[in-house]
Structure 1
């Protein structure tokens, strides 16, 4: 890859990271690309070289979903069937701790009606659901579909618990 292309990739990554933080902290609708540019220490026109505000949110959501999918795949590839569910829970807890703003951003995006944003959320959730359900099925868990629905619902409760700073909502394991 040419040096210029590498720098562009790094700047795109910097912009997305800044957007995740800005959108999570003040909300997508209140945030501006100028605030994202300031956080990324670049000019606003440089943000527009790569993104519109909406495409920036979509990319940010895709990054957050891919982080979850990659973490879950690592667990699935390295964990015995009997430890699968707890391994997935621990992986998600680690993401919630290390990448809190990504989870907060996903929570906000659940209520945004713009089609590209809804599509990014639907695609991410569908990929996670399919991955977990197939892993549960391969692990021989009875009623993998219901187990997956329960797992995802508990994940949403974890998100609410974190966002509201109410650890008493969490199930103790």
Structure 2
């Protein structure tokens, strides 16, 4: 990879990271690409060099946030002992919500955005996470795997809400 290509990749990552922060802080509709550019200390036209629209920037940010969860869950499924699978998945998600809180807030906001491409990105993420968890629960021979998967995902959503509104008692077991 050439030096210019590395700079370009790094700049793209910087822009997506800034977009996650800005979108999570002020919301997608109120956020501007100028705010994202300012966060990265670049010009707004430079943002458009990488992302033709604000929606494409959001889609990339959502892709990063979903990939983090998907890859984390895949790693747990690959490495965790079957008897600790669910606990390890919970632990992995707790770490994500702790260290990547703004990504979770971004996803929560994206659930309410009705643009088709954004809804498709959210559906893809949820379906992939559901598929990974359900398949792992089946392999681990967890009784009522489908119901347990639904409860696992529902509890995760409740934890997201608890985090967003500052109500930690909703996360307690």
Q: Quick check: TM above 0.5?
A: yes
Superposed CA offset, 1:67-98 (max 9, x none): 00111111111111110001000000000000
Between 13-22 and 139-148, report the one with greater CA deviation.
Answer: 139-148
- For 2:4 and 2:121, the matched residues in 1 are separated by 29
Corresponding position of 1:48: 48
Corresponding position of 1:69: 70
- For 1:40 and 1:70, the matched residues in 2 are separated by 26
- For 2:133 and 2:41, the matched residues in 1 are separated by 38
Corresponding position of 2:124: 123
Corresponding position of 1:90: 91
- For 1:170 and 1:31, the matched residues in 2 are separated by 29
- For 1:5 and 1:116, the matched residues in 2 are separated by 28
- RMSD of equivalent CA atoms: 0.7
Partner of 1:71, secondary structure, is helix
- For 1:66 and 1:55, the matched residues in 2 are separated by 16
> Structure 1 runs of 4+ off > 6 angstroms?
none
Instruction: Find out whether 1:26 has 2:26 as its counterpart.
Output: yes
- For 1:72 and 1:146, the matched residues in 2 are separated by 18
Instruction: Find out whether 1:103 has 2:104 as its counterpart.
Output: yes
Deviation at 1:171, TM superposition (A): 3.0
- For 1:145 and 1:2, the matched residues in 2 are separated by 48
Normalization by structure 2: what TM-score?
0.98
- For 1:27 and 1:59, the matched residues in 2 are separated by 16
Partner of 1:141, secondary structure, is coil
Partner of 2:112, secondary structure, is coil
* Structure 2, unpaired ranges of 5+: none
Q: How does 1:6-25 map to 2 (within 5 A)?
A: 6-25=6-25
- For 1:8 and 1:149, the matched residues in 2 are separated by 40
Superposed CA offset, 1:84-139 (max 9, x none): 00100000000000000000000000000001111110001110000000010111
- For 2:17 and 2:101, the matched residues in 1 are separated by 12
